[in-house]
Chains A and B, each alone.
Chain A
Amino acid sequence: MSAGKFGPQADGDSFPKLLVRNASELAGRPAIREKDLGIWQSWSWDQVLDEVRRLALGMQALGLGRGDKIAIVGDNRPRLYWTFVAAQSLGAIPVPVYQDSVAEEMAYVLEHAEAHFAMVEDQEQVDKLLQISETVECIRHIIYDDPRGLRDYEGGHLHSFTAVQKLGEEAMAGDAGLEERWLAGINETKGSDISVILYTSGTTGRPKGVVLSHDNVLITARDAGEFEKLGPDEEVLAYLPMAWVGDHIFSYGQSYTSGFCVSCPESPETMLQDLREIGPTYFFAPPRIFENILTTVMIRMEDAAALKRRLFHYFLKVARRAGEPILNGEPVGLKDRLLYGLGAVLVYGPLKNTLGLSRVRIGYTAGEAIGPEIFSFYRSLGVNLKQLYGQTEASVFVTVQPNGEIHADTVGKPAPGVEISIADNGEVLYRGPGVFAHYYKNEEATRETKTEEGWVHSGDAGFIDDRGHLKIIDRAKDVGKLNNGAIFAPKYIENKLKFYPNIKEAVAFGDQRDMCTVFLNIDLAAVGSWAERNNVPYGSYQELAANPEVYGMIEAHVDEVNKSLAGEPRVSGSQIHRFLILHKELDADDGELTRTRKVRRKFIAERYEPLVKALYDGSTETHIETEVTFEDGRKGSLSADITICDMQTYEPPVSMEAAQ
């Protein structure tokens, strides 16, 4: 069959139905791939159907049925992806859980979702679940993918993946009509059925279970796929947490609607190498990954031979000048065009190849604002990177930048079928096919978030600019006021700071206070490399962070941010008066960041209360003692003397003020 015929008009209103369709229409074409023992192993769509059938019937034999929840925990693995559709074929509901959450967080989700089954990746997760089941009684059966280290484990509720599939085979052998009934059951699944519950990591309070129907996920995935003309030939790398809505749409939803093959990396550490081997055509990454890649490139270029370094910087300048206009199809002079062509051969091509981005046709980034320089860097190399704005409650797509309308400071136009409006307080509201059914067992939150007419309160403040693009400034509830009445949008300031490679995280304070102050985290890779080049000795993050030379460097960055803020009338009052560099890196294990690495400002303010106080009482140095959690869950304490640095602020240009 041809790629063109396949797609939106094709039938199937649930994922099990799509699997059956793909198994016949795309038989023999790869559906999913995994690198195992150094070799990429693939399964075609018809093989996947066979694997899923045995798995589903095996789980049915263990007692999984309509309405039951099954938790899915682990890195991206084919068998874990199959569990989604296998569960859905029985009318059960998959509940993916963040694989790096500590036992306590996981216990909450499992208990709240009333998950009786769990499909987990390996011994690490089995241990976690066994620990959980000592206090939470809901888990009855644990199925594991990788048997390593589990030989001596005992208990009737522990099953290997292959053993469950064997159960399925035996059930089929013992009951001739079973397979038919399974297929008939798939035919009965419909679009309005619940397809998945995704727990949001939540910047505040307990995670909420977002209930999405097959229609939500499927229509959104299909429409967005049509918008970007995705077909069965795309290559996608599945490396983001399976519990995150983005992965669910890009690596599961759209793989089934568009029929493309998804590749699972060998291990989280090999992701960048696997990226290069697969060469995805459709690639999503949060800004921090693009930042990390860029930082790595820059650090490595600093160490390169002089000729290479000069070539790199020269052609980067050419790309900055000509690359984006060429990608956008705008007119560019002949000389620049020729130079860009030469650069493509000498620098951009090899660089993109090294990074695994040679074939990217559509690159998405979302989740946080991306630095304009970072964004332009990739686009100028010819990588069609675009921003989108999405939420779990919308099955990702709220807005997306259409080809040829790319602006570093917006998140694009409404996605297919989505309507947008702005509330009086500046909050963005949206409505569309992907809008969630409700929060699981939380009617109050559902009522607060979703109106009767189906409008969802995004919680983000923003506005539509004159090009019709949505621009997000901050979380609606985080936008506050300084004591002098000026608007204070902390994230806006933090993002400006974080665009410097040396600054990893920033936390701004100022709501109902006289002035704006910030906590900073330096980036250990970038500043560490600088330290190495400048013979600055250091033994730990803490030591480097307290170094006066580092302070001097960071002070220069903060000064630049102040100058830039001074030029923007709406936020010129939020110039940074004082800052300090924290003695430890903010960490999700300590609850300071969410699992998607967003800062939890309020929690941080409480935890480091003495530091906040010192920022406002005029002292130049302060002492702090902090409890830290190690990766294995043990706790220790960290104490430090922290220097506070005063900053110069700038008067906004008079003309600007008059204009306001």
Chain B
Amino acid sequence: MMQEAARPDETREILLSVDNVSLSFGGIKAIQEVSFDIRRGEIRAIIGPNGAGKTSMLNVINGFYHPQDGIITFKGQERRRMLPSFAARQGIARTFQNVALFTGMSTLDNIMTGRVPRLEKGLLGEIGQILLQAVYLGPAQRSEMDQRKLVEEIIDFLEIQHIRRTPVGRLPYGLQKRVELGRALAMEPELLLLDEPMAGMNLEEKEDMSRFILDVNDHYGTTIALIEHDMGVVMDLSDRVVVLEYGRLIADGTPEVVQANQAVMDAYLGVPHD
């Protein structure tokens, strides 16, 4: 790989910041007073042992959970409560820890669904648009062709032309993950959240996926926040790493800094009882 250059630095604009966010379910404190930021164009990893609150953190970012406390600022706008659909429209896309695709639909159709939040409503409004789509006339046809072109570019980018028409339920897991990434990309997100993109993959699939993540970041300039358990992958891919343990932030910095941090080592390796 020849892309050592062009790493985001301190001067980059902050795309999203999380200030003192706390989230609890009844008596269980999932996230406690966590603060960090994500800069435009970087690959940001969130790591931590099981139950550290990583997925909860992603769910807070894309509006699925509503923190009891704290402030989230996205593109300079502070927000407290929002719906996931609104987050999607604002430019946040995500993939899931367990693949969440429409298994009976083809790869192409699954990725096309990613275009829905981006569809122009035009003068006729939503209902009018649906009617136009149904008869496939005029602007609807043009719009469909434009959407399809963008989706085809993603299919080409992810090298999944051969499964374009295959129902995703019949695909192996590694390819399903790639389709899910494709659907998230179809939203043309500014911030892409990946929840364990490599879980359950073999070495070759992990290498492919790593390359695609780097390519997405490089080619589309998409900011990426990812949760991952494979430390090799995390350290290779990310510019900065946030480490959570029991809902608290215990370290934040470049991979080298985080790796050398005593608290992180303790969290992962355990503290000797002596």
Asked if B218 and A151 make an inter-chain contact with CB atoms under 8 angstroms apart, the answer reads: yes
- Within 185-207 of B, Cβ neighbours of A (below 8 Å) are at 204, 207
Asked if B2 CB lies within 8 Å of chain A CBs, one says yes
Using A148-B215, A148-B219, A270-B161 as known contacts, list a sample of 20 further A-B pairs with CB atoms less than 8 Å apart, ordered by residue number in A.
A37-B155, A37-B156, A38-B148, A38-B152, A38-B161, A38-B164, A39-B152, A148-B157, A149-B218, A151-B219, A152-B3, A153-B2, A266-B161, A267-B159, A267-B162, A269-B162, A270-B162, A273-B165, A631-B204, A632-B207
Chain A window 123-159, contacts with chain B (Cβ cutoff 8 Å), 1 for yes, 0 for no = 0000000000000000000000000110111000000
The answer to whether A37 touches B215, judged by C-beta atoms less than 8 angstroms apart, is no
1/0 per residue B161-186: CB within 8 Å of A? 11011000000000000000000000
Encode A147-188 as 1/0 by CB contact (under 8 A) with B: 011011100000000000000000000000000000000000
A39 to B164 alpha-carbon distance, docked (Å): 12
Check: B127 CB closer than 8 A to any chain A CB: no
Question: CB-CB contacts of B1-24 with A at 8 A, as 1s and 0s?
Answer: 011011000000000000000000
14 A-B contact pairs sorted by A residue (CB < 8 Å): A38-B161, A39-B152, A149-B218, A151-B218, A152-B6, A153-B2, A266-B161, A266-B162, A267-B159, A267-B161, A269-B162, A273-B162, A273-B165, A632-B207
Chain A residues whose CB sits within 8 angstroms of the CB of B218 once the complex forms? 149, 151-152
Chain B residues with Cβ below 8 Å from A149 are 215, 218-219
CB distance from B174 to the nearest CB of A (A): 14
Residues from chain A with a CB closer than 8 A to the CB of B3 are: 152
Residues of A in contact (CB 8 Å), total 16
A residues near B146, Cβ cutoff 8 Å: none
Nearest Cβ on chain B to A160's Cβ, whole angstroms = 15
Cβ of B33 under 8 Å from chain A: no
> Which residues of chain B come closer than 8 Å to A266, judged between CB atoms?
161-162
Asked whether A152 lies within 8 Å of B2 as measured between CB atoms, the reply is: yes
Closest to A38 in B: B152
- Type the 1/0 row for A335-374, where 1 means its CB is closer than 8 Å to any CB of B: 0000000000000000000000000000000000000000
Interface residues of B (CB under 8 A from A): 2-3, 5-6, 148-149, 152-153, 155-157, 159, 161-162, 164-165, 204, 207, 215, 218-219
Q: Which residues of A contact B204 (CB under 8 A)?
A: 631
Closest to B215 in A: A149
Q: Write out, one digit per residue, whether chain A residues 595-632 have a CB within 8 A of any chain B CB (1) or not (0).
A: 00000000000000000000000000000000000011
Give Cα A273–Cα B160 distance, bound, in whole angstroms. 13
- Asked whether, in the complex, the Cβ of A152 is within 8 Å of the Cβ of B162, the reply is no
The residues of A that contact B164 with a CB separation of less than 8 Å are: 38
Which residue from chain B places its CB closest to the CB of A266 in the assembled complex? B161
Within the assembled complex, what's the spacing in Å between the Cα atoms of A632 and B1? 13
* In the complex, the 8 A-B pairs of residues with the closest C-beta atoms, listed nearest first: A269-B162, A37-B152, A270-B162, A38-B152, A266-B161, A270-B161, A267-B161, A152-B3
Name the B residues within 8 Å of A153 (CB-CB).
2
| B6 and A38 contacting across the interface, CB-CB below 8 Å | no
Q: How far is the CA of A269 from the CA of B165 in the complex (A)?
A: 13
Q: Within the assembled complex, what's the spacing in Å between the Cα atoms of A207 and B243?
A: 54
Which A241-293 residues have a C-beta within 8 angstroms of B?
A: 266-267, 269-270, 273
Whole-angstrom distance between the Cβ of B84 and the nearest chain A Cβ = 30
User: Which residues of the other chain, B, contact A39 by a CB distance below 8 angstroms?
Assistant: 152
**Alpha-carbon separation in the docked complex, A522 to B157 (Å):** 35
Q: How far is the CB of B95 from chain A (nearest CB, A)?
A: 22
With A37-B152, A37-B156, A38-B152 as known contacts, state yes or no: A269 contacts B161, CB within 8 Å. yes
Q: Is the pair A37, B5 in contact by a Cβ cutoff of 8 Å?
A: no
Alpha-carbon gap, A269 to B160, bound state (A): 9
In the assembled complex, the Cα of A267 lies from the Cα of B162 at a distance in Å of: 8
Given the complex of chains A and B, what is the CA–CA distance between A270 and B161 in angstroms? 7
In whole angstroms, what is the CA distance A243 to B3 when docked? 31
Residues of B contacting A270 in the complex (Cβ-Cβ under 8 angstroms): 161-162
| Nearest-CB residue, chain A, relative to B162 | A269
Could you count the A-B residue pairs with CB atoms below 8 Å apart for me: how many are there?
A: 39
**Least CB separation from B163: chain A residue:** A269
CB neighbors of B among A87-106 (8 A): none
Report the bound CA distance from A38 to B207 in whole Å: 26
Q: How far is the CB of A349 from chain B (nearest CB, A)?
A: 21
State A39–B156 Cα separation when bound (angstroms): 12
In the complex, the chain A residue whose C-beta lies closest to that of B157 is A148
Chain B residue contacts of A273, Cβ below 8 A:
162, 165
Determine how close the nearest CB of chain B comes to the CB of A600; give it in whole angstroms.
26
Complex CA–CA separation, A533 to B28 (angstroms) = 48
* Residue among A37, A39, A152, A632 with most chain B CB within 10 A: A37
In this complex, which of A148, A149, A153, A631 has the most chain B Cβ atoms within 10 angstroms of its Cβ? A149
Q: B149's closest neighbor in chain A, by CB? A: A37
CB-CB under 8 A from B215, the residues of chain A are 148-149
Is the pair A37, B153 in contact by a Cβ cutoff of 8 Å? yes
Residue with the greatest number of chain A CB neighbours at <10 A, chosen from B2, B6, B149, B218? B2
State the CA gap A305–B152 with chains docked (Å): 34
Contact for B155 among A38, A152, A269, A632, CB less than 8 A: A38
| Shortest Cβ gap from A482 to chain B (Å) | 44
Compute how far the CA of A437 lies from the CA of B219 in the bound complex, rounded to whole angstroms.
47
Taking CB atoms, residues of chain B closer than 8 Å to A152 are: 2-3, 5-6, 218
Name which residue of chain A comes closest to B152, CB basis.
Answer: A37
Q: Which residue of B lies closest to A39 (CB)?
A: B152
Please name the residue on chain B nearest to A126 by beta carbon.
B2
> Which residues of B lie under 8 Å from residue A148 when comparing CB positions?
157, 215, 219
B204 to chain A: closest residue by CB: A631
Nearest chain B CB to A378 CB, angstrom units: 24
Contact with B along A428-443 (1 / 0, CB 8 A): 0000000000000000
Q: In the complex, A267→B161 CA distance in Å? A: 7
**Smallest beta-carbon distance A142→chain B, Å:** 14
Most buried by A among B3, B155, B156, B204: B156
Select from chain B the residue with minimum beta-carbon distance to A35. B161
Residues in B whose Cβ lies below 8 Å from that of A36: 156
Chain A residues whose C-beta falls within 8 Å of the C-beta of B165 in the assembled complex = 273
In the complex, which of the residues A38, A153, A273 has the most CB atoms of chain B within 10 Å of its own CB atom? Answer: A38
- Expressed in whole angstroms, the minimum distance between the Cβ of A632 and any Cβ of chain B is 8
Q: How far is the CB of B165 from chain A (nearest CB, A)?
A: 8
- Give the chain A neighbours of B2 by CB distance below 8 A: 152-153
- In the complex, A273 Cα to B108 Cα: how many Å? 15
Residues of A within 8 A of B6 (CB): 152
Alpha-carbon separation in the docked complex, A148 to B153 (Å): 12
Bound CA span A38–B164, Å: 9
Chain B residues with CB under 8 Å of A632's CB are 207
B221 shortest CB reach to chain A, Å: 11
Tell me how far the C-beta of A234 lies from the nearest C-beta in chain B, rounded to whole angstroms: 25
**Least distance between A123 CB and chain B CB atoms (Å):** 9
Q: How far is the CB of A435 from chain B (nearest CB, A)?
A: 40
Docked pose: A269 CA to B157 CA in angstroms: 15
Closest-CB distance, A155 to chain B (whole angstroms): 10
> Bound state CA distance, A193 and B8, in angstroms?
55
- Tell me the minimal C-beta distance from A466 to chain B in angstroms: 47
B254 to chain A, nearest CB (A): 21
In angstroms, Cα B165 to Cα A118, docked, is 36
Instruction: Provide the bound-state CA to CA distance between A269 and B204, in Å.
Output: 17
In the bound assembly, the distance between CA atoms of A501 and B27 in angstroms comes to 62
Would you give the shortest CB distance from B193 to chain A, in whole angstroms?
24
Q: Which residue of B lies closest to A146 (CB)?
A: B156
> Please, how many angstroms separate the alpha-carbon atoms of A267 and B155 in the complex?
12
Q: Measured between C-beta atoms, what is the minimum distance from A355 to chain B in Å?
A: 16
- A120 CB to nearest chain B CB (Å): 16
Instruction: Say how far A451's CB is from chain B's closest CB, in angstroms.
Output: 48
Q: How far is the CB of A603 from chain B (nearest CB, A)?
A: 26
Shortest Cβ gap from A365 to chain B (Å): 24
Q: How far is the CB of A38 from chain B (nearest CB, A)?
A: 5
Specify the chain B residue showing the minimal Cβ separation from A127: B2
Q: Closest CB-CB distance, A85 to chain B, in whole Å? A: 27
| CA gap between A37 and B149 in the complex, in Å | 7
Determine the chain A residues whose CB is within 8 A of the CB of B161 once the complex forms.
38, 266-267, 269-270
Most B CB within 10 A of own CB, among A36, A39, A152, A632 = A152
**A151 CA to B3 CA, complexed, in Å:** 9
